[in-house]
Amino acid sequence: MLSGDRRALEGLPLKLLIMSLLISLTAPAVMGSLEGYERSIARSEIVSEANRLARMSEEVLSAGEGNRRSITLELPQASSRYGLAVEVGGGIDDTSAYSIRCLEEDMVFNAIVSDDPPVRTVTMSGSPLLLEAGTLSLMLECARIDGRLCVVVEASP
């Protein structure tokens, strides 16, 4: 700084340059950290809703054949940005029918397997039902298919 610069006009541009440099260096790290936090929150909400669906499936199966219940799932909107989804059901002879899977970019990051009682969740089409972001209503019904008790999962309008 110049000794005669009482108003600090000559040092001000240098201070502004240093501040903008600091901001430009730290902003990407802060933004990346916030994105990682948002992703982890979305993942935990997805797992929470999948657990709720698994508990409801157990209740429907325990109540016996003919029992029918509906459930509304709230999957976070941020989940679509990160490729997060819940996959439920499968074919009657498919091992995937015994689990509810949480997916990220089509890779399973959490699988919920109900083993007491073992719940077989199936869809009428025989292929897994993919649940993505938003409010989703599902109908769960305990039915006997090929002599086996199953929980039939279908999307409600």
Q: Read off the pLDDT of residues 16-57 as tens digits, 9 standing for 90 and up.
A: 888 888 888 888 887 777 788 899 999 999 999 999 999 999
| Amino acid at residue number 46 | I
Query: How many percent of the chain have pLDDT more than 70?
Result: 94
151 lies in a domain?
yes
Query: How many percent of the chain have pLDDT more than 90?
Result: 58
User: Domain limits at 26?
Assistant: 12-155
At a CB cut-off of 8 Å and minimum separation 6, what does 46 contact? 75, 76, 79, 84, 85, 86, 102, 110
7 lies in a domain?
no
pLDDT at residue number 1? 47
- Return d(Cα 43, Cα 48) in angstroms, integer: 9
84 lies in a domain?
yes
Per the prediction, the chain carries an average pLDDT of 88
Sheet holding 107-113, edge to edge: 107-113, 99-104, 84-88, 129-131
Supply the pTM of this predicted model.
Answer: 0.79
Domain count across the chain: 1
pLDDT band per the 50, 70, 90 thresholds, residue 2: low
3 lies in a domain?
no
Q: Which of 1-5, 41-45, 95-99, 117-121 shows the lowest per-residue confidence on average (mean pLDDT)?
A: 1-5
4 lies in a domain?
no
